Structure 1
């Protein structure tokens, strides 16, 4: 925060005039070097004097002589202008056109279905030599691989579905909710939402697009002192949909996946029991790669894809 409201009225030109007058000791010379009128220089000096409550420069026969306060200010103002220039130039951005690059990420099938296809298409259209290797997400985040640099990024579920690591950087990509899917010929619930009792009485197919003995549904049911009957576990959402076809089984899917894969001609869907929470999709990375230009660029591409698809 600023110590005075008058400081808020200063701009870059005022600071440039201060430095130029200090170094040149001449209003005329400053006017010429900055390509501004002498009246502009005088106006800037007036603003500076009001803001810093000091004369700053005294007009003498030998030129503009800085006061003690102006002398102490000089190095600080110079650093301000240098910092502004650094902000403008910034670090050189990563350019994937100049060098082929491979990103190793750990992610669930959810990411592969909703985000990765658009991401790869974007790279293909721009003719970028970018390769993305996806490793399957396990119950725990592969922390050591992320810290060692074997993995560039982890895409995972939240909140609180995986053991947290305080040293990792994190960003939420999107939010989603769960929906119950069943064969169109199967017995539909009497209401547009399953009751808790009706939900646990039905037989379930459990998709495991990330390796885990249970998922967010089972965790919530346990908190309700309930348990569902699982008749089969599938390695993918698509396979799970095949397994419920022609049966009375139900499948609990993320709504975005249901909209993408569960054709309305074959499947119906309804809301899960009231209280079943939704989830987030997050990305996590090591602080070691936080300033890495390639890693930063890739994370920005992921966020951009999510934004373009209206996922954010």
Structure 2
């Protein structure tokens, strides 16, 4: 904030005139150097004197325009202001993924690997970019230390509030999804939406796309004072689909995963019980990474791939 309303009247030209008069001691020389009329230079000096309540420069016969004490104390600060403006214009060095090979390290669930990672890699390949992606499995907690020290560039996780929050991170929701129930086509219930009773009466296969002691389905069931029987746990969505083939087991999947992997020739989909909550896919990164041009570029590519998924 400015300490005086009169400072609002100043602009960059006024500051340039101040520096030029300080360094050249001549209105005529400043006029020529900046390509301004002498009347314009005089007008800028008038604004400066009014804004800072000081004469700033005294016109002498032998020494030209001599700075006052206040002008001398202002000079280095005005230089810093102009340098800062130039830095704002130049910005930080822009990351160019085509210059040399680069590897990004992500922590993400299988959900991201199935839906978004293929789109990312195809985009890199189409642009002939030497970009590689390493994906580490998401655990129960966000890998906060690895994000802070830079060994991980991004964390992709589920929300809202499925993982413990950490201070000092930036977060963005990429898109929303909900859950549906999948069955072998010969064992699908007739109703288009399962009742809670029908849902808990079936035996379930549970895919574990991230390591966690709890999950969004069983947490919600516990709130309803109900529980389901989990007959098997699988490490992937594809493995879980194989486990229900030829059985009457139920499998609860994100709708986007169901559309991608559960062929209608083999599986039938039913709507989940009323009230079963959906979820979001979120992206988190550290404060230091927020200012890194390479990390910024990567986040932009993830956001673009997610937008394509939304419209697919």
TM-score, structure 1 length as denominator?
Answer: 0.81
Matched, 1:107 2:108: yes
Matched, 1:136 2:137: yes
- 1:57 aligns with 57
Question: Which residues of structure 2 form unaligned runs of 5+?
Answer: none
Does the 8 Å contact 2:154/2:284 carry over to 1? yes
What's the offset of the Cα at 1:246? Answer: 5.8
- 2:88 aligns with 87
- 1:71 aligns with 72
Distance 2:191 2:50 in 1: 75
RMSD over aligned CA atoms reads 3.2
Q: Determine helix, strand or coil for the equivalent of 1:7.
A: helix
- 1:187 aligns with 189
Matched, 1:41 2:44: no
Q: Do the aligned partners of residues 55 and 199 (structure 1) sit closer, same or farther apart at CA in structure 2, a change above 3 Å counting?
A: farther
Q: Do the aligned partners of residues 69 and 207 (structure 1) sit closer, same or farther apart at CA in structure 2, a change above 3 Å counting?
A: same
- Bigger drift between 155-164 and 111-120 goes to 155-164
TM-score, structure 2 length as denominator?
Answer: 0.81
- 1:26 aligns with 26
- Bigger drift between 288-297 and 61-70 goes to 288-297
Kindly provide the CA deviation profile for residues 2-28 of structure 1, in whole angstroms up to 9, marking residues without a partner as x. 234443343322221221122222222
Distance 1:42 1:188 in 2: 87
Q: Do the aligned partners of residues 146 and 72 (structure 1) sit closer, same or farther apart at CA in structure 2, a change above 3 Å counting?
A: closer
Report 1:1-312 matches (<5 A). Answer: 1-61=1-61, 62-143=63-144, 145-146=146-147, 149-166=150-167, 169-183=169-183, 186-189=188-191, 194-244=194-244, 248-262=248-262, 266-274=267-275, 276-285=276-285, 294-307=294-307, 309=309
Distance 2:18 2:11 in 1: 11
Question: Which residues of structure 1 form unaligned runs of 5+?
Answer: none
Report how many aligned residue pairs link the two structures.
307
What's the offset of the Cα at 1:198? Answer: 4.2
Does the 8 Å contact 2:49/2:55 carry over to 1? yes
Q: Do the aligned partners of residues 308 and 31 (structure 1) sit closer, same or farther apart at CA in structure 2, a change above 3 Å counting?
A: farther
Does the 8 Å contact 1:173/1:306 carry over to 2? no
